[in-house]
Chains A and B, each alone.
Chain A
């Protein structure tokens, strides 16, 4: 089997990365190894844990279940793109303030999942929020503080929007 290389551009957080990878390179590995963006974490590498969650054209996806070649021409967003001018964004601040992380391994995935939730359904019901968060695994926090942080960020953003 010849492992032909693919040359293409990945667009991550609005920036272009020219990369050269095998077809079997997952998007998660390409982000980490070829773009040097190690914020996206890998837990299970088979779709179960959600640590690798990123946004593709605004939708949350498992970066370990996509090949990098499939992301050519799509807009990828990762945890590195959240902070605004070096300052934590409202969701990141809410995670810190609500103690929504301990070891932090799962945090990039939860932040990107939370970003998708806030952008698509900012007034999500508690029940739907818990269901949505069941997508990702956290071994430390027990999830309650993660749900609280996302709710707090939604509230903060709606008062900001109202003023």
Chain B
């Protein structure tokens, strides 16, 4: 349970971090942020990076700000930083609720939001949230900056569109309108453990019917997915248990779960119905 040897680098500026990564990525050099996924993988020798570029001392990487309708999350924003009113409005309340499902206090003080996205665990709550809300991913390398849209960021099991020399320098989440209602539901076997299935619903109720619905599912397929067919079915309809059943059944037919276990699909339907009910302010089915 001891990591293999590696060389350690601790840049203080973004420019220095990008140059180090450009030079070391071809030799299996990796970024380390919170280390809460990478270090366990190194202890188990699943990961054996030859160099670590530690971004924990990079000035400005802990920025968290709302600007022009987007919440901008820098690479050193820890899970713990998204609690108790850190971000205003429905988005802030959603982030705080979702954060409560991620690991435990001593892991949340170190682990980062951007690290979770780069790690792309199919069960990651932040990956589900970014997919459902239509986040933008800003990646930078010595070659320049590019913006990756949510639909293109996750490429499969623990795989992203990031190149080895790129740092995810910012996640942008669209600020939700004051009328937005959100519901998140996760099933996991133990508190703080990874989800077996998780769903997020964001919608508005206008004159009794659902408007602007967004629905996402995590931990079932090899990457989080936005359930667009179910969204189309929900739009313009009055919320009811029967409608949410129908939406969950529609979502189920298109799923390609990581395991063949039908239990996974049953769980998917359940978390979808519960997330929708929570968003609509109805009791949990």
Which listed residue, B7, B42, B50, B190, touches A134 by the CB 8 Å rule?
B190
Judging by beta carbons under 8 Å apart, are B40 and A65 in contact? yes
* Chain B residues whose C-beta falls within 8 Å of the C-beta of A66 in the assembled complex: 35, 39, 110
* Chain A residues whose C-beta falls within 8 Å of the C-beta of B282 in the assembled complex: none
Which listed residue, A45, A59, A113, A134, touches B191 by the CB 8 Å rule?
A134
Judging by beta carbons under 8 Å apart, are B105 and A60 in contact? yes
* Chain B residues whose C-beta falls within 8 Å of the C-beta of A67 in the assembled complex: 8, 35, 39
A122 at the interface (CB under 8 A from B): no
Within 8 A of A (CB), among B3-18: 3-8, 10
Judging by beta carbons under 8 Å apart, are B54 and A70 in contact? yes
A6 at the interface (CB under 8 A from B): yes
Which listed residue, B2, B40, B54, B109, touches A47 by the CB 8 Å rule?
B40
- C-alpha gap A15/B35 in the complex (Å): 26
0/1 per residue, B6-41, Cβ < 8 Å to A?
111010000000000000000000000001100110
0/1 per residue, A43-62, Cβ < 8 Å to B?
01111001001000001111
B1 at the interface (CB under 8 A from A): yes
- C-alpha gap A131/B188 in the complex (Å): 14
Judging by beta carbons under 8 Å apart, are B1 and A61 in contact? no
B161 at the interface (CB under 8 A from A): no
* Chain A residues whose C-beta falls within 8 Å of the C-beta of B94 in the assembled complex: none
A24 at the interface (CB under 8 A from B): yes
Grouping DSSP codes into helix (H, G, I), strand (E, B) and loop, the B interface class, with mixed when no group exceeds half, is loop
- C-alpha gap A23/B10 in the complex (Å): 11
Chain A proximity of B274: nearest CB distance (Å): 20
* Chain B residues whose C-beta falls within 8 Å of the C-beta of A22 in the assembled complex: 5
B44 at the interface (CB under 8 A from A): yes
B237 at the interface (CB under 8 A from A): no
- C-alpha gap A70/B191 in the complex (Å): 29
Judging by beta carbons under 8 Å apart, are A62 and B7 in contact? no
- C-alpha gap A63/B44 in the complex (Å): 16
Judging by beta carbons under 8 Å apart, are B105 and A116 in contact? yes
Chain A proximity of B271: nearest CB distance (Å): 20
User: Do A131 and B5 form a contact, CB below 8 Å, given A45-B43, A70-B56, A113-B105?
Assistant: no
Judging by beta carbons under 8 Å apart, are A135 and B106 in contact? yes
A2 at the interface (CB under 8 A from B): yes
B69 at the interface (CB under 8 A from A): no
Judging by beta carbons under 8 Å apart, are A65 and B191 in contact? no
Judging by beta carbons under 8 Å apart, are A134 and B104 in contact? yes
* Chain B residues whose C-beta falls within 8 Å of the C-beta of A131 in the assembled complex: 100, 191-192
A3 at the interface (CB under 8 A from B): yes
Judging by beta carbons under 8 Å apart, are A24 and B4 in contact? yes
B52 at the interface (CB under 8 A from A): yes
Judging by beta carbons under 8 Å apart, are A1 and B105 in contact? no
Judging by beta carbons under 8 Å apart, are A132 and B105 in contact? yes
B235 at the interface (CB under 8 A from A): no
B243 at the interface (CB under 8 A from A): no
Which listed residue, A6, A26, A134, touches B8 by the CB 8 Å rule?
A6
B267 at the interface (CB under 8 A from A): no
Judging by beta carbons under 8 Å apart, are A24 and B3 in contact? yes
A4 at the interface (CB under 8 A from B): yes
* Chain A residues whose C-beta falls within 8 Å of the C-beta of B105 in the assembled complex: 60, 113, 116, 132, 135
Show 14 residue pairs from A and B whose CB-CB distance is below 8 angstroms, ordered by the A residue: A2-B5, A22-B5, A24-B6, A45-B43, A46-B40, A46-B43, A47-B40, A53-B106, A67-B8, A67-B39, A69-B8, A70-B56, A134-B190, A135-B107
Top 10 closest pairs, chain A to chain B, by CB: A135-B104, A23-B8, A45-B1, A46-B40, A134-B191, A3-B5, A60-B106, A59-B109, A65-B39, A24-B3
